[in-house]
Amino acid sequence: MLNTAIVGMGRWGRTLVESVQRKNEAGLRFVAGTTGTLSKATDWAAEQGIRLHPTYEAVLGDPEVRAVVLATPHKQHAAQVIAAAAAGKHVFVEKPFTLSKATAEACVAACRRAGVVLALGHNRRFLPTTLEMKRMLAEGALGTVLHAEGHISGPGAFAWKPGMWRADRAESPLGGMGAMGIHMIDMLVNLMGPVAEVTVQSFPRVSTHIDDTTAMLARFASGATCNFATLSLTARYWRVALFGTKGVLEMQGQDRLAFTPVEGEGWVRDFPKVDIEAAELEAFAAAVAGGPAYPLPLEEAVHGVAVFETMIGAAASGSSYAVA
């Protein structure tokens, strides 16, 4: 059993803990943790059997803790990952990994030097629909993919008030990208490979303090094109579509796939709902135990950050940027 600390006990940190706590099959249990305001977490931590530490440094000094899960503001991730590696702790970090390619590379290097597992919380990789799309692509069912479309939106920014860290442009450049859009960037990279170039429009259409509308036109290294949008002041929406020479494959929401072939009958299939938060933490624990590698290669984790960083520059300049 991997004794783990949760760092950050806001809504998402609690979701991660509750997905696996007291489930022996998960291979992971939360035994300690810390958060920004300890008094807000006292009762919940006691219910979960988590002892509270006053600081992150105290968490890293806890001899029972073998791994940390970071559910903290984006700008804290790099320093926290590097400190955990120096303490010999395995690390699961929520997305966005970091906000620059250079800091992401520094995190990877630190964890490799320390010999600890580093995993990134892109939970949509664990959807049955994602796995089926990957299988069909590998089998050539779509032929040559010419174009991809991705869209992830939601109402989150209605609750982001001035003074909250998510409403801080330094923490949430391009509005919904940090909270939502980065998941779709990872999905597109997972399915289509590296991104070569981006053009971005991002602005506050309604919000007074943060971008609520972000759209991108991109080209993959393969030559396929892509359009993408993330909106933070609308209803929840998720869609991924791949357009190939043999047909169109579309993920409609997270649990349904539709295939329209160039010739013959198409189909629509519903897939079972799974707890993707539990799945990602179980995969992390398995990787620490010497099992299969965590199914998000660190090179792809760094590339996702590079795409995000490039999008920020492209939006600011109004021009196309190559992804380094």
What is the mean pLDDT of the segment spanning 103-132? 98
Cα pseudo-dihedral 80, 85, 88, 89, rounded to 10: 50
What is the mean pLDDT of the segment spanning 126-139? 98
Q: Are residues 38 and 107 in the same domain?
A: yes
What is the mean pLDDT of the segment spanning 148-156? 96
CB 174 within 8 A of CB 228: no
Domain-terminating residue out of 123, 150, 180: 123
Split into its structural domains, the chain has a count of 2
Domain-terminating residue out of 66, 97, 123: 123
- In this structure, what are the phi and psi dihedrals at residue 8, rounded to the nearest 5 degrees? 105, 105
Q: Report the CATH number that the domain containing residue 103 is assigned in CATH.
A: 3.40.50.720
Q: What percent of the chain stands above pLDDT 90?
A: 88
pLDDT above 80: residue 319: no
List, for residues 3-12, the tens digit of each pLDDT value: 999 999 999 9
Q: Quickly list H helices, the chain.
A: 11-20, 42-48, 56-60, 77-86, 101-114, 128-138, 181-192, 276-288, 298-317
Amino acid in the structure at residue 237: Y
Q: Are residues 115 and 135 in the same domain?
A: no
CB 74 within 8 A of CB 178: yes
Lowest pLDDT segment from 123-137, 159-173, 294-308: 159-173
Longest CA–CA separation in the chain, Å: 63
Q: Are residues 109 and 197 in the same domain?
A: no
Q: Are residues 292 and 157 in the same domain?
A: yes
Q: Are residues 143 and 65 in the same domain?
A: no
- Calculate the CA 299 to chain-centre distance: 14
Q: Report the CATH number that the domain containing residue 294 is assigned in CATH.
A: 3.30.360.10
What is the DSSP pairing of strand 237-244 with strand 247-252? antiparallel
pLDDT tier at 24, thresholds 50, 70, 90 = confident
pLDDT above 80: residue 320: no
Q: Are residues 136 and 209 in the same domain?
A: yes
Alpha-carbon distances of 117 from 73, 283, 319, rounded to whole Å: 21, 11, 38
- Tokens for 192? 């289509």
Rounded to two decimals, what is the model's pTM? 0.93
Q: Are residues 71 and 148 in the same domain?
A: no
**Tokens 């429009």 correspond to what residue?**
201
Q: Are residues 232 and 313 in the same domain?
A: yes
CB 315 within 8 A of CB 125: no
pLDDT tier at 15, thresholds 50, 70, 90 = very high
What is the mean pLDDT of the segment spanning 191-211? 94
pLDDT tier at 243, thresholds 50, 70, 90 = very high
What is the mean pLDDT of the segment spanning 72-95? 97
The chain-wide mean pLDDT, for the chain, equals: 96
pLDDT tier at 310, thresholds 50, 70, 90 = very high
Q: Are residues 102 and 139 in the same domain?
A: no
What is the mean pLDDT of the segment spanning 242-250? 98
Domain-terminating residue out of 123, 149, 164: 123
Position with higher pLDDT, 255 vs 318: 255
Q: Are residues 191 and 218 in the same domain?
A: yes
pLDDT above 90: residue 44: yes
Beta-bridge partners for 147: 225, 243
- Tokens for 259? 């295939």
Q: Coil, strand or helix: which one is 173?
A: coil
Beta-bridge partners for 214: 202, 230
Range of the domain at 94: 2-123
DSSP calls for 233-265:
SS--EEEEEEEETTEEEEEESSSEEEEEESSS-
pLDDT at 299: 97
pLDDT above 90: residue 66: yes
Q: Are residues 315 and 258 in the same domain?
A: yes
Q: Are residues 169 and 116 in the same domain?
A: no
pLDDT tier at 164, thresholds 50, 70, 90 = confident
List, for residues 166-196, the tens digit of each pLDDT value: 878 778 889 899 989 999 999 999 999 999 9
- Return the closest-CA partner of residue 111 out of 284, 292, 281, 306: 284
Alpha-carbon distances of 96 from 100, 119, 241, rounded to whole Å: 10, 12, 23
Cis peptide before 96 (omega within 30 of 0): yes
